[in-house]
Chain A
Amino acid sequence: MAISTKVTAQRSPGPGRFRPGRGSLAIPPLLFVLVLLLGPIIFIGLFSVGLRSNIPGASVAFTSTNWHDFLFSAGNPFRKRFAYSMEVALAVSILTTIAAFPLAYFLSFVARKHRYTYLLLLLAPFFTSFLLRVIAWQIMLNDNGVVNWLVQAIGLQPHGDPVKWLIYSNFSVGLVLFYSWVPFVALPIFAVLENMDHKLLEAASDLGASRLATFLRVTLPLSLPGVIAGFVFVLIPTTGEFITPLFVGGPNNQLFGNSIQSFFSDSPDWNYGSVLAVTLVAIVLLLMLVFGRYLNTDLRAAPSGGDK
């Protein structure tokens, strides 16, 4: 997702632009995606309005009952779950962006010489299995886990009385999501800071601005595109997240994605589940329409930042 708009962004002419391609070669991959990506989406659409059913022999006819129930019935639990999920996604995105900014700032302005090595350090854990890292957090946060042991060992909590909200709570789901995304938010912010014309900082100080004023009136406004990109990097995948709550969330902390998952694994009502699945796709596409243009963080497009 991170560099999703790079393909179009790099169309600018330049030396060695390679253009002898054959347009027809794009047809097989295009057909593949049409059948196996749009096909499934069309089918969940058909299911959501009752035009198809997974129950053999069941009557199929257009009906908006499920949509009506999801969107308008008072106190619909799935609509509540959806609202809760969006709140979690927003909160995680905001906190993650706030935490990532100083990391990017450190890389670009303090680490300078070794900044790419340090960036690697930040990103290294993310070469590794996401599932395994979630399981590691489960091990760390549970009642007999490392964190509870440490808390009791330094006397913050009496022995044999673990901190209950550490696991299967909003805290654990939020923490693991935060953990998973901070490095990826730091990346686009780092990219804009690297691309910034550092002479502007000198100009500001020549004109008498303090460090704080320079930061607030030059650096921060100029870094906003990266900040927004980072924010969207988290918001879109978190909106559809369901694995994290599956491992470290309790019954009350499951997200909208979990509702979809359980409809298709435990309940025979695929039609209702499809309403939820379509809603999720629609929300994500809406977010892309609104924010998509910010998602260009190609570091290579940057003027090579050497002397700053």
Chain B
Amino acid sequence: MRATGRFGSAALTLYFWAFVVFLISPLVVLVVFSLNNSTTPSLPLSGFTTKWFHAAFTNGELTGALLRSAEIGVAASVGATLLGIMASIGLTAKKLRLRSFTVALLLLPLVIPYISLAVGLLILLQALGIQTSLAAVVLGHVVITLPFSILVVLPRLRSLDPSMVEAARDLGASDLTAFRLITLPLLGPSLISSFLICFVTSFDEFAIANFLAPSGTPTYPVFLYSSSRTPALLPEVIAVGTLVIAVSLVLVLLAEGGRQWAERRIVGTSKPDFDGAELSNDLAALGRA
């Protein structure tokens, strides 16, 4: 027996596609209004233009904020991925005291509300007599993205064949050499995933950046928030937003596809062409983003 009758199937199919339209409509609206020749994003459309893109890229504050967020994102994702590798290797140790405590603590940033962490970091800086700075934003972003990195790197590390590392050691390699020549290359694809997930999260993070970025040097999300109160800026914000959305979609899909391809090449296992389960898992890690 099929789980649903013909009528049920049709109703569910309709429901699903209606939902897809609902989910995608805000993105479509952004794309349409980024090309609309009007200062207000409202219907009816008033004609095609690309002037908002030109205007956006000659707006120093906007491009400055974008660049700042990109730099912070790179720094935070490199930091989180390095710490994520260390934590993952630590967690694969045969013996580890306080294992469940370690795991719980390393994953705790997933549930702590960003707003509480943000004001806590602000207080911590103040108590230590340190000025707020973009470096502080990077540190905050490393904390919140570290669990994502561990959740991507650790399962990959666990799936490796330990005999390869053992063979390297038998052949005289030191632990560090074995790691550099064997483990690291095998981890490669998951490191790219980790880097991307952390970057995307950092790039979009508002709470911590809002409290720790010094005024005058806003990150892109902080700039978005302040400019949402300036209607004249809206078309430029929409134009850049469209590009940001397009780039992030292409990047994540390419990286995911590339990672799966690379893993098949390295391990030589046969997997379906497009492993949706794998992707969904990585996506689930984005849940907080």
A residues near B, CB below 8 A? 1-4, 6-8, 10, 16-30, 32-34, 36-41, 43-44, 47, 52, 54, 99, 102-103, 105-107, 109-111, 115-133, 135-140, 144-146, 149-150, 179, 182-184, 187, 201-202, 205, 211, 214-215, 219, 233, 236-237, 239-240, 242-243, 246-247, 257, 260-261, 263-265, 270, 273-274, 277-278, 280-281, 284-285, 288, 297-300, 302
Contacts and interface: CB of A to CB of B under 8 A. Distances in A.
Given A19-B94, A29-B87, A277-B119, A211 B3 contact: yes
B191 interface: no
B26 A136 contact: yes
Contact of A33 (B13, B92, B109, B225): B109
A23 B146 contact: no
A131 B237 CA distance: 11
B86 A127 contact: no
B204 A129 contact: yes
Contacts of B110: 1, 4
Given A22-B93, A37-B109, 19 more contacts: A18-B157, A20-B162, A23-B96, A25-B89, A29-B106, A33-B105, A54-B123, A103-B19, A116-B280, A120-B280, A124-B24, A125-B26, A126-B283, A132-B30, A135-B237, A136-B26, A149-B42, A187-B283, A211-B3
20 contacts: A1-B288, A3-B281, A4-B147, A4-B151, A23-B97, A29-B146, A30-B102, A36-B143, A47-B123, A54-B126, A127-B253, A128-B27, A129-B221, A138-B228, A150-B43, A184-B287, A261-B210, A265-B210, A281-B116, A285-B111
B248 A128 contact: yes
A99 B265 CA distance: 40
A127 B276 CA distance: 15
A99 B84 CA distance: 35
Contacts of B192: none
A20 B116 CA distance: 37
Contacts of A22: 89-90, 93, 175
A242 B25 CA distance: 23
A56 to B, nearest CB: 10
Interface string B135-167: 000011011001100110011011111100110
B277 A300 contact: yes
A109 B4 contact: yes
A269 to B, nearest CB: 12
A122 B206 contact: no
Sort A-B residue pairs by CB-CB distance and give the 4 closest, nearest first: A116-B276, A26-B90, A40-B120, A240-B113
Interface in B1-49: 1-5, 8-9, 12-13, 15-16, 19-20, 22-27, 29-30, 33, 40-44
B260 to A, nearest CB: 12
Contact of A3 (B16, B146, B237, B285): B285
Contact of B40 (A33, A125, A144, A214): A144
A3 B111 CA distance: 12
B56 interface: no
A171 B202 CA distance: 29
Given A16-B159, A115-B276, A274 B123 contact: yes
Given A109-B4, A274-B123, A21 B92 contact: yes
Given A41-B116, A54-B126, A1 B287 contact: yes
A18 B90 contact: no
Instruction: Describe B's contact surface by its main secondary structure.
Output: helix
A17 B91 CA distance: 12
B78 interface: no
A30 B90 CA distance: 10
A6 B20 contact: no
Contact of B92 (A19, A39, A102, A219): A19
B75 interface: no
B224 A182 contact: no
A33 B124 contact: no
Nearest to A28: B86
Nearest to A176: B26
A106 B16 contact: yes
B155 A281 contact: no
Contacts of B123: 40, 43-44, 47, 52, 54, 270, 274
Contacts of A122: 19-20, 23
B148 to A, nearest CB: 10
A32 B225 contact: no
B262 interface: no
A262 B141 CA distance: 22
B112 interface: yes
Contacts of A261: 115, 119, 207, 210
B42 A179 contact: no
Contact of A146 (B42, B126, B157, B200): B42
Contact of B206 (A40, A119, A243): A243
A16 B162 contact: yes
A37 B1 contact: no
A53 to B, nearest CB: 10
B266 to A, nearest CB: 13
Interface in B50-106: 83-84, 86-97, 100, 102-103, 105-106
Given A3-B151, A29-B83, A140-B29, A260 B143 contact: no
Contacts of A211: 1, 3-5, 8
